[in-house]
Amino acid sequence: MGAVLAAVLGASLAGCSSTGGKRAEERASQQAAQGKAAVDTPRWTIGMVTHSGDGDSFWDIVQKGAEQAAAKDNVKFLYAHNDEGQQQAQLIDSYVDKKVDGLIVSLAKPEAVRAAVARATRAGIPVITVNSGTAESKEFGALTHIGQDETIAGEAVGDELGKRGRKKALCVLHEQGNVGHEQRCAGAKKTFDGDLQNIYVDGTNMPDVQASIEAKLQSTKGIDAVVTLGAPFAGAAVQAKKQAESEAEIDTFDLNAKVVTALKDNTLGFAVDQQPYLQGYQAVDLLWLYKYNDNVLGGGKPVLTGPQIITKKDAPALEAYTKRGTR
């Protein structure tokens, strides 16, 4: 095992150079394609249950990170999602019944899944929370939380809006009951010197999202910035701006290939990247480390993957990664 770990460490150190990093990535891809893991530890099973999933560009990236870490770590990876808290809790219960060796959970609606997470920890299953639930993670008995602090991310948005001279902003919340979304908008309002208003839309109906933003831009004078809380909703805001003949700048949380293109052509002003690939990858990797070596990161604090403000000048460097679906 020591020789295998030394080889893995050597590959990681090689990644310190661009050439070494490329070689390490190619080796990892070849191993994954051949079904080979980088370690010879037991084939543990790790389940992930999130509040959103397949078809969502953000969660596709989280899932890809988790799958690639699982391939490296000789882990059997299970994934399920549901945007309803009660159904998410049932999915967690199903993984507890399967006696998984580790569990990764998002806490967008923490009270709805509290009992299910408690059942997992009572069963001796180590839990890591990701993305949503920074404040609740430790209380729920998780080893650590991996993601961005939503309040801090919101504060960064408020500061950025101020730097750009904005005076009246709209914060678009697309999922009712998501505590992280509320924290983002509240954080932005805290640091923004201008006026920030919240608008709630039905995130499952994109035409409704566009129509709601368009109506608000038409009915409320002076809005000069619209902030969406997810990359797919930025496009709807752009269309709403056009239809309303508004001059508002459109900004968004999260990054994908379309957002990078829009940043490059000035359709969007800035994006907030929380590195979803890392959230999936690190969650699986840290559970493997915990099972193998009783390691825990964070020292009782969340392991932060963001926020990072991405603008037009940053977009070209990230374009290749967004196209391959890892950023």
Q: What is the pLDDT of residues 165-192, one digit of tens each?
A: 999 999 999 998 899 999 999 999 999 9
pLDDT of residue 310: 98
Average pLDDT over residues 213-217: 98
pLDDT digits (tens, 9 = 90+) for 103-151: 999 999 999 999 999 999 999 999 999 999 999 999 999 999 999 999 9
Q: Please tell me the pTM assigned to this model.
A: 0.84
* Choice between 3 and 65, residue whose per-residue pLDDT is larger: 65
Distance CA 327, CA 171 (A): 24
Q: 150-273 — its CATH code?
A: 3.40.50.2300
Q: What percent of the chain has pLDDT over 70?
A: 89
pLDDT of residue 322: 94
Paired residues of 77 in beta bridges: 46
Task: Give tens-digit pLDDT for 49-105.
Answer: 999 877 788 999 999 999 999 999 999 999 999 999 999 999 999 999 999 999 999
User: How far is 132 from 85, CA to CA, in rounded Å?
Assistant: 13
**The CATH number of domain 41-148+277-296, selected from 3.10.20.520, 3.30.559.10, 3.40.50.2300, 3.40.50.1970:** 3.40.50.2300
* Amino acid sitting at position 327: R
**Domains 41-148+277-296 and 150-273 belong to one CATH topology:** yes
Q: Pairing mode, if any, of strands 168-173 and 271-273? A: unpaired
C-alpha to C-alpha distance for 266 and 276, rounded to whole angstroms: 24
Distances 296 to 18, 59, 65, 283 between C-alpha atoms, Å: 29, 24, 19, 11
Supply the pLDDT for residue 36.
73
Report the pLDDT value the prediction gives residue 53, as an integer from 0 to 100. Answer: 78
Residue 54: predicted pLDDT: 72
| Rounded Cα distance, 218 and 303, in Å | 41
Residue 60 — left, alpha, or beta (φ > 0 → left; ψ -120 to 50 → alpha)?
alpha
Say what the pLDDT of residue 205 is.
Answer: 96
Q: Is the pLDDT of residue 17 over 50?
A: no
Per-residue pLDDT band for 11 (boundaries 50, 70, 90) equals very low
What's the pLDDT at 3? 41
Where exactly are the structural domains of the chain?
41-148+277-296, 150-273
At 31, is the pLDDT very low, low, confident or very high (cuts 50, 70, 90)?
low
pLDDT of 14 > 50? The answer is no
**Parallel, antiparallel or unpaired: strands 225-228 and 195-200:** unpaired
Task: Calculate mean pLDDT across residues 252-278.
Answer: 97
Q: Is the pLDDT assigned to residue 25 strictly greater than 70?
A: no
